[in-house]
Amino acid sequence: MHTHITDSPGSRLGDTNLDSRFDSADLVSAFQGATYESNQPTAQRVLTFASRD
């Protein structure tokens, strides 16, 4: 997760759609991706979230 934040300027922890804000849209994106309870490593979940932007 640290790599993601460092590589995406303006991004914050939990900012799944990379719009530089953490808000309800990020939670909706995470839940729609159905990765919030998966056994995937964190890096794969971040890539999945970003692809849903």
pLDDT in tens, the chain (53 residues): 455 555 666 777 788 778 888 899 888 887 776 655 666 665 555 555 555 54
State the DSSP H helix or E strand holding residue 48, giving kind and residue range, or none if neither.
helix 42-51
For the chain, the domain total comes to: 1
Whether residue 20 contacts residue 12, with contact meaning beta carbons closer than 8 Å, is answered with: yes
Give the pLDDT confidence score for residue 15 in this predicted structure. 83
**Separation between Cα atoms, residue 23 and residue 29, nearest integer Å:** 10
Q: What is the pTM of this model?
A: 0.46
Task: Residue 20: give the domain boundaries.
Answer: 2-51
Give the pLDDT confidence score for residue 53 in this predicted structure. 46
